[in-house]
Amino acid sequence: MPFTIRRAVLLGAALALLAGCSASPDPGVAGVPVTAGPVPVAAPPIGDQLPGMPPVADPHNVYADAGPNMLSDTAKAALPLVYVPHTKSGDVWVIDPTTFAVVGKYRLGGELQHVIPSYDMTTLYASDDTTNKITPFDPRTGKPGANIPVIDPYNMYFTSDGKSAISVAEERRELVFYDPHTWKVQQTLATPQCAGIDHSDFMPGGRIAVFTCEFDGRVAVVDLVNHKLVRTIDMPVRHHRMGPQDIKLAPDGSVFYIADSEEGGVWVLDGAATKVLREIPTGKGAHGLYLSRDATKLYVTNRLDSSVSVLDSYTGAVLTKWAIPGGASPDMGNVTADGSQLWLSGRYSRAVYVLSTADGHLIRKIDVGDGPHGLCVWPQPGRYSLGHTGITR
């Protein structure tokens, strides 16, 4: 909706919240001010960490071990490649990032959503939620292997201790926990109040995750130890068609940033996942959230605005906005291991975009298949992967 109308709606919503008329059943959500300006937020204590997870070395930056070129020995063994799954043409294209040439095309069938690095970074999985399978790729060769049956894997994450893979079964409104080695189901968690469950990020201690509910205008807070739904939190303005999308934890754990496509901006959720603090307008179709390699900047892809907004990852202050020429639809991707480039799929434009992180200029547009989605740049720095298109810590 137009910016002025949207702000009016936000004002009305904020007044309604102040009057105690929130639609959310959760304590602490009513009475939330919605402002665009950066507000310093104290980081909550990390608390008990999930047993078996690599310890948080720097509480001010949980991504400190995923800095520029901090590749593990496993990651160093991988061929530098970019994997592009297509929802419409049902194939994965593989691109050489040094030449920008397409070096492989693999027809897998179905509706391919994301290419997801395993917890130990030894395997990449192309997820297909229409035929209930994931296809492993060997990052040392860039070649696919035999399909693995998985229930409705729209997206996939891994617990911080590496003991569970989580299939985000969007259509079924479920989280299906798997043994990541045998792919046997450990447990299924129903999330009936989270229509369109799709993206997630974890608190620093690894015990709690927040999942976005695209078609319910809210998020779901999940206990990953006991596999229980803790609560749901409504956004101040609830969108049910293309609402909350990607989510990203601030480096110090103080807040979660939540892209909302219909809202055209980013909601800021407190780090304890109890209440929405404010909104940051970015652009139409706000969708993907990616950190710079030093974790000081947050890139927000505005899919319906042909742009990328750059925020201060600690305060949420808008630093700049990059326009992508040619009617772009920037969706998902990641930055390169050295942090110099941001690779993004063009969801509606059959293209991949390579941007300079120095100034946002378009380095290369690469024509690809139909419906490019969860693009994976590999290898990535870090000790372990939480999944998605390469969330590493």
Domains in the chain, ordered, with CATH?
Answer: 36-378 (2.130.10.10)
pLDDT at 139: 98
Alpha helices in the chain (DSSP H): 3-18, 73-76
Q: State the sign of the Cα–Cα–Cα–Cα dihedral 302, 305, 310, 316.
A: negative
Question: For 112-129, b where at least 16 C-beta lie within 10 A, e where not — what string?
Answer: bbbbbbbbebbbbbbbbb
The token duo for 118 is 């395993």
CA distance 210 to 229: 10
Q: State the sign of the Cα–Cα–Cα–Cα dihedral 110, 116, 117, 118.
A: negative
Question: How remote is the C-alpha of 16 from its chain's centroid?
Answer: 30
The whole model's pTM is what?
0.90
| Contact status, residue 43 vs residue 357, Cβ threshold 8 Å | no
The token duo for 172 is 């079924």
pLDDT at 188: 98
3-state class (DSSP) for residue 389:
coil
pLDDT at 299: 98
Residues of the chain scoring pLDDT < 50: 1-36
